[in-house]
Amino acid sequence: MPHLTLYTRQACQLCDEMKATIDRVASRLPITLDVTDIDSDAALAARYGEEIPVLLVDGMKVAKFRIAEAALERTLRARELL
């Protein structure tokens, strides 16, 4: 099962949109998801700054700012084949 990590921050509309996209895809495909507010970790805040949201799949960065449902689904299905 793919493990997704979503880096976000409070009051971030793009973060909310990406989380909603992930939730829709998760209704069709099994995943685990961790959502981390980068402002709770100085190292993450320094690393990502304003370039959020950032989505990792199994530790690999696959998107920042936005991802389409179809693109996320393709990425997750490709991970299943590895």
% pLDDT > 90, the chain: 93
Query: Among 1, 7, 4, 3, which residue's Cα sits nearest to residue 64?
Result: 7
For residues 59 and 5, give the distance between their C-alpha atoms in angstroms, rounded to a whole number. 7
pTM of the model: 0.93
Give residue limits of the domains in the chain: 3-81
The DSSP bridge pattern shows strands 3-8 and 32-37 to be: parallel
Q: Which residue stretches of the chain have pLDDT < 50?
A: none
Per-residue pLDDT, 79: 78
**HEC assignment per residue over 56-70:** EECCEEEEECCCCHH
Query: Among 66, 59, 51, which residue's Cα sits nearest to residue 17?
Result: 66
3-81 in CATH: which number? 3.40.30.10
CA angle (29 as vertex; 26, 33 as ends), nearest 5: 45
